[in-house]
Amino acid sequence: SDLQKQEERGELLQPLIFVLLVLCSVLLYFKVSLMDPGFVKSEEEAKAGNSEEQSMVIPQIPSNIKMRRCGYCMVKQPMRAKHCQLCQHCVRRYDHHCPWIENCVGEKNHPLFVAYLSVQLVVLLWGGHVAWSGLYVEQSWDWLQHNIFLLMSFLLIVIFTIVVLLLLISHLYLISCNTTTWEFMSHHRISYLRHSELENPFDQGVILNLWRFFC
């Protein structure tokens, strides 16, 4: 049959890889949106948990800086944590609240969020290539009537590709500097940055910043 011939020629491999990438993108989306981004636990919850695990998660705070209590949920905020009024929780290493995933991006799900953006970008570029390959531009009304949906799909893919690309580039840049979107945008309002002698006290060099974030 034609399907067997296409399989023998390897023509089904590319569609299979594309479907697997789309599936991976969907799974990453649900994983990032549903997982705990790094909510700060109260003293009671922290004591009930594994003390060794907690010591690995909570960053060491210099003695000259005191942990403050959040004015909303009344938990002790570690450095780089911020209260999200949409999630009603303080989030460790808070980056931003993403409306697309309806969840905060923080210490625990930030690497997976970057992975999701990367896979999504590959899917969009591939889909844009497929849509473009099906377009044969002709300046006629009949052509437009038959290709309007394909043309609109291509333009929509281009818009989303630009958005995802810019978002991914900005996150990789901030990660390479060991800073977050919140810290970058609100540097003048954050006490531990405003009173620091260094512009970015967390920066340890691009390679080490990337290594500690992803590994």
C-alpha–C-alpha distance, residues 54 and 92, integer Å? 12
The catalytic site residues sit at: 98
Name the packing angle between helices 13-34 and 110-133 (round to 10°). Answer: 150
In the three-class reduction of DSSP (H, G, I as helix; E, B as strand; rest coil), residue 198 is classed as coil
DSSP state of 200: -
- Separation in Å, CA 197 to CA 27, 39, 40, 194: 43, 29, 27, 8
| Cβ contacts of 47 within 8 Å, gap of 6 or more | none
